[in-house]
Amino acid sequence: MKRSFFSLILSFIATIAFAQELSTAQWEKNNITVDGSAADWNHSLKHYDNNTRLFFDFKNDSNDLYLCLQTKDEIAEEKIIRSGMKIILSNKINGKHKAVINFPLAIKHSSTAVQHDEETAQEGGTGYPGRHKAFGANDSMEVKGFADKNGLIPANDISGIHAAMGRDSSNALTIEMAIPFKEMFGNDYQEKDLSKEISLDVIINAMPAGSQNRGSGYAHGGGRGSGRMGGGYGHGGMHGSRGAGEQNEADDATQQTGFDRMAMFQKSELKEKLQLATPL
């Protein structure tokens, strides 16, 4: 009985400690160019989330919050490009407030693209013509809950909220965003408001159930020529973020777990509490 009570107290203390933990942004001295590349982040993102298979990092200056998300995982990449991703930013400045960014937007597949995928998959490849077209097609983003910008807006308009997606030489898919504080908090926000925490929620949408029989090398058990395999989404994997330095361990676990095709048809989610940086 005493042991059970003691265990309950320890669990309660651990829960409180976890709830109070914040990830602190890095102050950005120079302007970040939002171009779908991690070059401005020294090609290294500090955080890793096992549930979404995303590396991520964030910085801020006196005007903007910058987000960078990156993955080399095939399942995560396929879901992001085909089904889209949602970023939710919540804060308690001037009352509880939530703003949403949908980027990239989901691809609408034509019957021709699906047929091409099936033919490529039967030959042992992965194809995905729609995926490669997505980089040129994702010139728009859908936003709501912001001060001025709402609805479908250009993704590359640097005068406000803007984003970009790209792939580098290591085949990593990178998504960058810049969100002005005046859009997130309103024009009348004060400097002291920036000390309040921000809740970040990143949702990778699930592939539609009807797409299980479409031409996907993943659905047929195939993979890219790199030999990398994905898995572990929502099946007892570690939830929340951890240091990016543990990626080798994650890769080993991925290889051992094998390919989990059902992960493509499940939503995956990253949750993090952010603390903005102050000028150095």
End-to-end, the C-alpha distance of the chain in Å comes to: 52
User: Which structure tokens are listed for 240?
Assistant: 């929340």
3-state secondary structure of 263: helix
For the chain, list residues with pLDDT below 70.
Answer: 1-21, 108-137, 210-261, 280
pLDDT of residue 212: 54
pLDDT of residue 206: 93
pLDDT of residue 249: 47
At 256, which helix (H) or strand (E)? Answer: helix 247-257
List pLDDT tens digits, range 108-144: 643 333 444 444 444 444 444 445 455 545 789 999 9
Q: In angstroms, rounded to a whole number, what is the distance separating the alpha carbons of residues 227 and 39?
A: 26
Q: How many CA atoms lie within 13 A of 220 on its CB side?
A: 19
Q: Domain boundaries in the chain?
A: 24-275
- Our measurement of the distance from residue 243's CA atom to the centroid of its chain's CA atoms, rounded to an integer in Å, reads 16
At 83, which helix (H) or strand (E)? Answer: helix 74-83
